[in-house]
Structure 1
Amino acid sequence: MMETILSRSIRLICLGGVTLGMHAAHAQTDAPAQPAGQAAVVTVTGSRIAAPGAESPSPLQVLTAADIAASGATNLQELLLQNPTIGTPGISRTNSNFSTASAGVATIDLRDLGTSRTLVLLNGRRFVSGVPGSASVDLNSIPTDFIERVELLTGGASATYGSDAVAGVVNIITKRNFNGILFDAQMGETYEQGDDQKRKASITFGTSNDEGTANVMGHLGYSRQGAVMSRDRKFAAVDQYSRMAGVTGEAADAFVIQRPFYSGFTPAGTFYPDSGSFTYDAAGNPIPANTNGTGGAQPTGFNRSAYRAIAVPTERFLMALTGEIQLNANHSAFFEGNYASTRVSTTIEPYPLGAEDIYPSTGGQVPAEFLVNGSYVRNPIVPQYLWDRISDTDGDGARDYYFTRRMADFGNRGSRAERDTFRVATGLKGLIADKFNYELFGAYGQTKEAQESGGQVNVLNFRNALEAIVDVDDLNGNGSRTDAICRDANARAQGCVPANVFGAMTMSPEAVRYIAAPGSLQSVITQTIVGGSINGDVWELPAGALSFATGFEWRKEESRATPDALTQAGLNAGNATPETQGDFSVKEIFVEGRLPLLKDKPFAKQLTLLGAYRASDYSTVGRTNSWNAGLEWSPVSDFKVRATRSLSTRAPNIDELYQAPSQDFPTGIQDPCLGVTATSTGLYDAACRAAPGVMANINANGAFTLNQSDLQGISGYNRGNPDVQEEKGRSTTVGVVWTPRSIRALNRMTFTADYFKIKIADAIVPTDRQYALRNCYAGGNQAFCSFITRRPNAVGANSAGSLEFIDTAVSNSGGLGTEGVDLTVGWADRVGPGRMNTRLAYTWVRNLWDRGLPDADIDESAGEVGSAKNKASLNLGYQWNDFNIQSTFSYIGKSYLDDQFLSGFDLAPKSLGVGSRTYTDLQMTYALRKSTEVILGIDNVFDTKAPPIISGLPGNVTGAETAADVYDAIGRRIYVGLRVKL
């Protein structure tokens, strides 16, 4: 296999020309210059006190530029997701194809506590959000080749950095004092399919003056990642669905996968006269509709998977600039600038339209004749075959019918988004009285997104186009008195043309132009910060210097997302999405101290106390406070115990406060009433029968039955809450650090073990929809029942009682939390003729829970899909002369389906799950000369397959037939490159 892969790599080089890329460990970065007489000091994430040899009092993991280069990652998210402390991302390339906004954004989520609880910093300062209404930073905006290291601090850090640091901090440190020019580029693609094509090229440059008092660095980069389509992966190429089959003894028998499970919304349309249904064949002849080919008949349904994407294509242009100039011996000015332009496109199948989208007041009954001058006139576009089979079903005296249709005439749905992010930060820093370090800075950032979408229809215009009459008076002036025209004169004046929906691609171009509703979304996010700090040693104590840091910060966040008028009103047959806008400001002061108690004493090589406090005043929730306290104890030189206790506060973001009801189409929802009969006695049965629509369905079918449209047509609204208050997270970490320098055989090893526990009170969360269903029908909780709307009896037995809307709203819930252990082991030494390095990071999650409402039961999710109890990452490397090989093994432990979902079918937790997965990435580099290296990389070397998590199951990402944001649904990928430093 290796020879085949190498051969494919050589072909890539020949086809693509010479490309550039290499291991960042060989890029030279000079140490920052220090003013004369000043000792070298550092500041680590988790503290604002700069001190010689400073270490973090909280668990801290560091990823270096070498790690980034060895991963071959195009954006930082790809690398961070291998770290076991990182949870399932809120947004990524592989879970956002169906997003109505922010598709392709790369966010990060520490501890699976939510992206909003992970604070992302750039050089210790906040970075502007990439997602409207939130604080979520788009990691696409930060060039990987410009990063020196990334520090992951797990545990509450609000006292040090402010709101949003409840789960921890990701601090991205960029290169400094770089001299020279570095060219870097890569190209790659999937080995089997040749998609997911990657192109990456960048140049990093820097220079300093002869005196070393001024330096400037810049970076220009470009990257493109191609699409991965569902149709190109066998496991996702055909629509499928997991449905309840009835448990016969084993939990594994509870669900069956129906493949194909084609959509009943077809381009030819499905038409429902007084009884039965029919569609059209390729020749335009009416035939019985048979969506999935039951009974041996040819299926007439629509395969949506042929149009969907597993990974969205993303293109980025990046620029960064940093500089510093020394004003005198103790003071300097600095500047940071970042700009990112991202282009993302999404693609999904043509719109599935039901007549109720156009005629909501009549339940989708389309008039086939109209009352004109006291008598009924037939709609001429209604074909004779349908006319002969319909009557007046709604009591208005006119014949009517119902239809569903895939609007292929309008092309695929999808969006093209252009996202521009820029940020500047500047300030002064230096020494006061040759003793205290200070910094004053101001920063401004802005993210703009302009999105255009297609494939939607204007339902008002569609209604006009369906209501046609014969032009007996030649009103259109074409000389014919037998053709059809729109019956509304105003509509005709606006270009209305009758719409022929009977058959595939039967609508005229003129009708399509009149009905089409191109969508747009404009969003702007701005962040303004002014801050300052001072730190240093107050006085010298027997055990060391008493150190402090104090400072202030003022910050204002603004966000606005404005869809087009039709989208806001929900008149384009799609998601109704009103404008959301809002802002808030906060004033903060903080203080931090480090008190050394003992040094070089028996059983106390070092004993230090640490503490921090932050007071904040928000324009929204008022005054809040955060604090932390820590202890560092080294009984001997090689062993240290560390512990922290903190209170972190997170104020609600703009969306959580101000989001207007925005329509969504959730997946993985299972109706607990499915299968209920008039006499059944299950957990939900009595409450289900109390719903009139459900009972009407039971009376008509013998048991509550859902058709395909019901299963695929659940909608709902997401909304904010202006009364929501801040949440408070209490975290505890206790750990040990062992660096056995005194043991010769182990003196190159570092070992850490840390216990963590985070509990968030009054957590700001949206109500989980499946959780709301269970608690409404199992417990009769009216707070949850208020989120649920079922279709009434009036729609007929086929859909009566089916779920129409399941809403969700933000509230201060009963809380959430997590508890577990992190282990890391690092070792590097000479082995044989070369040098070996290895690092293992392992996380065991004891529990991960949330409570939907203060009086609700705890929902435990540790061990469920997306939140595995056991995760690990192992890095192994070996360098021998000019040859270097690095490998990464990423492990995701066995996981189970959501217990709330399983309980809906009377199945025990952990009764259904998927096995563990291990992914292997490999990179080899060879130094052609001192300044040049070539690179060959293979991701997912053994082409490990993602587990099947089919539509209808929790964790499924629509179109992928697996949890594509957890497991690798793309497959084996290879890349090659070269890097040159001049």
Structure 2
Amino acid sequence: MKSKATSRQRFVLTSISLAVLTLAAEVYAQEAQRVEVTGSSIRRVAAEASLPVTMVTGEELEKRGMTTLADLMMALPESASLAPSNAGSGTNINLRGLGVNRTLVLLNGRRLANEAIADGYANLDVIPMSAIARVEILRDGASSIYGSDAIGGVVNFITKRSFEGKTISAQMVQPQKNGGADEQRISSTIGFGNLENDGWNWYATVDGHRRSRLLASDRAELSTPELLTSIGRAPTLGSGGYAMPANFTTATNKTAQNPYYSQGCAAPYSIQGAKNTCILNANYYGTALYANEQLTFYTRFTKRFSEDHTLTVDYMRGQEHILGTKNPSTSLAANGVTAQLPSTSKWYPGGSGGVPAVAGLKGEPLTVTWSVADLGEATTKDKQVNQRIAVNDEGRIGGWDYKLGFVYGHSLRENYYESGYVSGPGLLAGLANGKLNPFGLQDAAGKEYLASISVDGAMNRHSVSTFTGLDLTGSRELMSLSGGPAMLAVGADLHRDTTEDQKTDITSIVTYANASPSYAKSSRNVMAAYAELELPVTKTLNLNVAVRDDHFSDFGNTINPKFSFRYQPTKAVMFRGSANTGFRAPTLFDRYGYRLPGATTTTSAKWDDPVQCPGGTPGVAGTGKALPGLVASAVCNTTLPKQTGSNPDLQPEKSKGYTLGLVVEPVKDLMMSADYWHIEMKDMLANLPEQVYFLNPEKYASYFVRNADGSLAYLKNVTMNLGGQKASGIDVSLSYAFPKTALGNFKAQLDGTYLTQFDNQLEADGPYIPNVGRFGAASNGTTSSMPIITFRWKHTLTLSWNRGDWASQLTQNFNTGYHDQNLVAAQYFRDIESYAVWNWTVSYRGFKNTTISAGITNLLDAKPPVTNHNAYTFGYLSSAASPIGRAFNARLTYNF
């Protein structure tokens, strides 16, 4: 990285050069009406764009029966987004599988404040669906217009320009099978003033959505013991973990036992495990989909002073609540004190409390691993509030089309211990003084004691991020060329990001939640200057050159160019392509976020400690053997302590990419396109998936940080600069409007992406590991430690029909199969099947001012694919498929 002094000089020189170029240019007036397309600052006819842009209208979202933007993000072929079923961060988009913070999300061409904890991506749930006119997805790499960090692409949500009238819409989704996951959405929009006739317009829309919780027991057929056993993940393989009734060991006997094992443990809270122990019943406590509530508000005022001058002010407020559930609170050791039950407790086996006696006990204290069933599941409430105000002044002065904008965004995220949480030390004290029974449900005294140590309702985390930006863009004609007028656009922007993140003191009391008090605050200023030149060299060849100079207050300068072309030798054939470079600084959270000396969480999957439970097959939990004197359930086939947080040594990553495409219209109403894309990164910022460490523990031994006695203090799993990444594929699109018939109008469209390469390099100069169609060697990082999922082929197929007041659409979302993780015994090695979901909707507009729509989601009731990846608790691919099954939806819209 160059010195800051040199960087500033380069920035100033670049800015001066652009200004000189601008002032020196000879200009001509432009009379044609043109629009701005995502990826460029130059207004043009949309069909003239040389960049691959996918557009989905708000009307199309309704036709597909979508209730949230998550439905759209999961369906896009170019998206490798994780299903947001249990994500406290909400919905985010991951174009090309490159990571959510390499996809730039815009609202009307400008940024939002990022989700407040990670501060690296936008939560789409805060954007009101009822205000959306269309969504434009720029599918090529870093944009020299919006920011060099848009390595994976740009998603631009564009709201309605104006609205006049009143409308209310209600929508519901009801799964066919019993249980939760029902949805309700209601929205209302009101607007006054006609922009063309009155010169002004104001409208406002409010949009509310809720989804109820879907328990794993509501879809028990998806994770039956028989199914899990058939893929090598028999539930009864676990032993000695936290359960009710509790398992116990003694100072002289480290083999876990349970006084109720012979009685079948305690349904429904636990089931029999291996080696005379009880284990938690995952199907009873598990959650397939979290409860979720969203309330969004958007308003926009537009004043047209003249044909050449328009002022727009808009305000957005999005609020989301997600109720997350975890296994019940446990008797984890706190402040060096273990969970011990003395012989003086009436709940000691064979004592007056009625707990069955256990042979061999002689009154020695018992170390118990207890899951407090009386408290129910531990529930957290994740609250997000995202607000943004934007001012846009655009017009024409002296032959220049200009746009001046200001935006301020504020993102708040708070997390609460909603229910089922108690003081960790208090829990251990209740065992020691005999008030709490670890082997059964509590009596009245025990319930009263649990209530006395409750911390329900306490806030455990408070995070804020802000975005403040000012931008100015001007464009005009330069000169006439053979193909038309050459166009120049220049611009500059200045923005400031801030983040503040605090884990409150209550986390030191809830010791078993694996969090500690922390505080981090940081900020970053970014100044940028950019220019774009459009050159219609001939009637058939158009060139576009753009360059952007960004100056980061903490990383200095980076200059990133972009070149694109469009060549159309005939009306029916067009070639297009682009090339670019990119630069992404570490997020404020990744580099400056909280840093704690010990473990901050536990692994998402169960593993064998390679040192204290050696001898097994690398990466296959439950195959090792605990060292003498150690409790097997504490070091074998169990979740292990893990450290997450910021990494002060992170450096920016760089990228380069290109696209090359062909668009043809061989016959009327038939359009076909194919675009090859390729992206390479170096110094990639990512987390290593957990299996990487355990598949090769010798290589990554330094990441297993140990205490003086050899026990594992934590697995270091912070974001780091890895080696490189190479990704490439082909986007294809085909649409055909059939000739009109007496039966109506028919249209078919296919949009798909075929991956040809997705390779990760885990360290600089190391080998590249192919990941297409298999669980990736790098994780999604910011939102999950789960490996990246990259399907070889993914498509959306739509078949639509309309006649008079009737319309209908049949949609298929499809992805190819997958090579399973297969970190189980060899006889269970398998492949994951392909997955296809059909959705059908029909609508009728024949009633005055009323539109009625109805449909079926997952028409054929396809089950989510089964996986033996040990981080998927319920045995199905929950991050890429829905457990809901067939569901019915209906929508009613009334215009006043």
The TM-score range, normalised by the shorter chain, is 0.7 to 0.9
Q: Name the structure 2 match of 1:231.
A: 217
Q: Name the structure 1 match of 2:453.
A: 515
Of 279, 282, 290, the residue aligned with 1:312 is: 290
Q: Does 2:134 align with 1:134?
A: no
Contact persistence 1:334–1:427 (CA under 8 A) = yes
Q: Name the structure 2 match of 1:927.
A: 845
Contact persistence 1:43–1:54 (CA under 8 A) = no
Q: Name the structure 1 match of 2:780.
A: none
Offset of residue 568 of structure 1 = 5.4
Q: Name the structure 2 match of 1:436.
A: 400
Letter in 1 for 2:750: L
Q: Name the structure 2 match of 1:747.
A: 668
Alpha-carbon distance in 2 for matches of 1:53, 1:44: 6
Q: Name the structure 2 match of 1:915.
A: 833
Aligned CA RMSD, in angstroms, stands at 3.5
Offset of residue 567 of structure 1 = 1.6
Contact persistence 1:231–1:238 (CA under 8 A) = no
Letter in 2 for 1:255: G
Of 723, 726, 732, the residue aligned with 1:814 is: 723
Offset of residue 785 of structure 1 = 1.4
Alpha-carbon distance in 2 for matches of 1:906, 1:307: 30
Contact persistence 1:279–1:503 (CA under 8 A) = no
Q: Name the structure 2 match of 1:20.
A: none
Alpha-carbon distance in 2 for matches of 1:515, 1:86: 46
Q: Name the structure 2 match of 1:178.
A: 163
Q: Name the structure 2 match of 1:118.
A: 103
Residues 196 and 256 of structure 1: is their aligned pair in 2 closer, same or farther, counting only changes over 3 Å? closer
Q: Name the structure 2 match of 1:270.
A: 247
Q: Secondary structure at the match of 2:61?
A: helix
Q: Name the structure 2 match of 1:340.
A: 318
Residues 56 and 437 of structure 1: is their aligned pair in 2 closer, same or farther, counting only changes over 3 Å? same
Q: Does 2:766 align with 1:856?
A: yes
Q: Does 2:694 align with 1:773?
A: yes
Alpha-carbon distance in 1 for matches of 2:220, 2:619: 38
What's the CA shift string for 1:275-324, capped at 9, x where partnerless?
4655455999999xx97547999x84431321221111211222111121
Normalised by the length of structure 1, the TM-score is: 0.79
Q: Secondary structure at the match of 2:547?
A: strand
Letter in 2 for 1:748: D
Q: Name the structure 1 match of 2:420.
A: 455
Contact persistence 2:673–2:733 (CA under 8 A) = yes
Alpha-carbon distance in 2 for matches of 1:827, 1:751: 9
Alpha-carbon distance in 2 for matches of 1:262, 1:388: 19
Q: Name the structure 2 match of 1:47.
A: 40
Q: Mind listing any 5+ residue stretches in structure 1 that lack a counterpart?
A: 1-35, 244-252, 370-377, 393-398, 469-483, 485-497, 600-605, 689-693, 741-745, 795-800
Q: Name the structure 1 match of 2:234.
A: 257
Of 955, 964, 974, the residue aligned with 2:878 is: 964
Q: Name the structure 2 match of 1:944.
A: 862
Offset of residue 463 of structure 1 = 4.2
Offset of residue 896 of structure 1 = 1.0
Of 887, 891, 894, the residue aligned with 1:977 is: 891
Q: Secondary structure at the match of 2:380?
A: strand
Equivalent residues in 2 for 1:125-164 (5 A)?
125-164=110-149
Contact persistence 2:245–2:265 (CA under 8 A) = no
Alpha-carbon distance in 2 for matches of 1:804, 1:947: 36
Q: Secondary structure at the match of 1:327?
A: strand
Equivalent residues in 2 for 1:773-852 (5 A)?
773-777=694-698, 781=699, 784-789=700-705, 805-833=714-742, 834-852=744-762
Q: Name the structure 2 match of 1:7.
A: none
Of 606, 610, 635, the residue aligned with 2:544 is: 610
Q: Does 2:100 align with 1:107?
A: no
Residues 263 and 71 of structure 1: is their aligned pair in 2 closer, same or farther, counting only changes over 3 Å? farther
Name which one, 1 or 2, has greater alpha-carbon Rg.
Answer: 1
Offset of residue 515 of structure 1 = 3.2
Alpha-carbon distance in 1 for matches of 2:487, 2:63: 38
Letter in 1 for 2:790: S
Letter in 2 for 1:220: V
Offset of residue 150 of structure 1 = 0.8
Offset of residue 379 of structure 1 = 7.2
Contact persistence 2:528–2:549 (CA under 8 A) = yes
Q: Mind listing any 5+ residue stretches in structure 2 that lack a counterpart?
A: 1-28, 352-356, 776-788
Q: Name the structure 1 match of 2:378.
A: 413
Q: Name the structure 1 match of 2:813.
A: 890
Residues 957 and 285 of structure 1: is their aligned pair in 2 closer, same or farther, counting only changes over 3 Å? closer
Contact persistence 1:674–1:706 (CA under 8 A) = no
Q: Does 2:304 align with 1:326?
A: yes
Of 522, 528, 532, the residue aligned with 1:592 is: 532
Residues 324 and 879 of structure 1: is their aligned pair in 2 closer, same or farther, counting only changes over 3 Å? same
What's the CA shift string for 1:880-918, capped at 9, x where partnerless?
2222110110111011124xx65x9789xx963111111
Alpha-carbon distance in 2 for matches of 1:216, 1:711: 60
Q: Secondary structure at the match of 2:70?
A: helix
What's the CA shift string for 1:123-157, capped at 9, x where partnerless?
11111212423231111111212111111111213
Contact persistence 2:247–2:278 (CA under 8 A) = no
Offset of residue 38 of structure 1 = 4.6
Residues 574 and 178 of structure 1: is their aligned pair in 2 closer, same or farther, counting only changes over 3 Å? same
Alpha-carbon distance in 1 for matches of 2:117, 2:645: 14
Alpha-carbon distance in 1 for matches of 2:643, 2:560: 34
Offset of residue 421 of structure 1 = 1.4
What's the CA shift string for 1:609-651, capped at 9, x where partnerless?
1111111111222212221111211121211111111001111
Q: Secondary structure at the match of 1:442?
A: strand
Contact persistence 1:75–1:143 (CA under 8 A) = no
Contact persistence 2:795–2:813 (CA under 8 A) = yes
Alpha-carbon distance in 1 for matches of 2:265, 2:96: 56
The share of aligned pairs that are identical, in percent, is 22
Contact persistence 1:341–1:419 (CA under 8 A) = yes
Q: Secondary structure at the match of 1:233?
A: helix
Alpha-carbon distance in 2 for matches of 1:876, 1:558: 46
What's the CA shift string for 1:156-177, capped at 9, x where partnerless?
1331211431000011111112
Q: Secondary structure at the match of 1:160?
A: coil
Contact persistence 2:394–2:402 (CA under 8 A) = yes
Q: Name the structure 2 match of 1:652.
A: 586
Letter in 2 for 1:846: T
Q: Name the structure 2 match of 1:14.
A: none
Offset of residue 500 of structure 1 = 4.5
Q: Secondary structure at the match of 2:71?
A: helix
Q: Name the structure 1 match of 2:602.
A: 665
Q: Secondary structure at the match of 2:59?
A: helix
Residues 293 and 228 of structure 1: is their aligned pair in 2 closer, same or farther, counting only changes over 3 Å? closer
Of 801, 808, 812, the residue aligned with 1:878 is: 801
Alpha-carbon distance in 1 for matches of 2:555, 2:478: 35
What's the CA shift string for 1:208-259, capped at 9, x where partnerless?
247342112221221111211100102356679968xxxxxxxxx9835346
Alpha-carbon distance in 2 for matches of 1:579, 1:788: 25
Q: Name the structure 2 match of 1:214.
A: 200
Q: Name the structure 1 match of 2:23.
A: none
Contact persistence 2:223–2:876 (CA under 8 A) = no
Offset of residue 183 of structure 1 = 1.9
Equivalent residues in 2 for 1:335-484 (5 A)?
335-354=313-332, 357-358=333-334, 360=336, 364=338, 366=340, 368=342, 399-433=364-398, 435-453=399-417, 454-468=419-433
Contact persistence 1:46–1:57 (CA under 8 A) = no
Residues 838 and 259 of structure 1: is their aligned pair in 2 closer, same or farther, counting only changes over 3 Å? farther
What's the CA shift string for 1:704-724, capped at 9, x where partnerless?
x95487423323011221231
Residues 708 and 973 of structure 1: is their aligned pair in 2 closer, same or farther, counting only changes over 3 Å? farther
Offset of residue 755 of structure 1 = 0.5
Residues 676 and 352 of structure 1: is their aligned pair in 2 closer, same or farther, counting only changes over 3 Å? closer
Q: Does 2:60 align with 1:67?
A: yes
Q: Pick which of 411-420 and 331-340 moved more.
A: 411-420
Offset of residue 417 of structure 1 = 2.6
Alpha-carbon distance in 2 for matches of 1:466, 1:418: 34
Letter in 1 for 2:213: A
Equivalent residues in 2 for 1:236-251 (5 A)?
236=222
Q: Name the structure 1 match of 2:664.
A: 738
- Size of the aligned set, in residue pairs, is 837
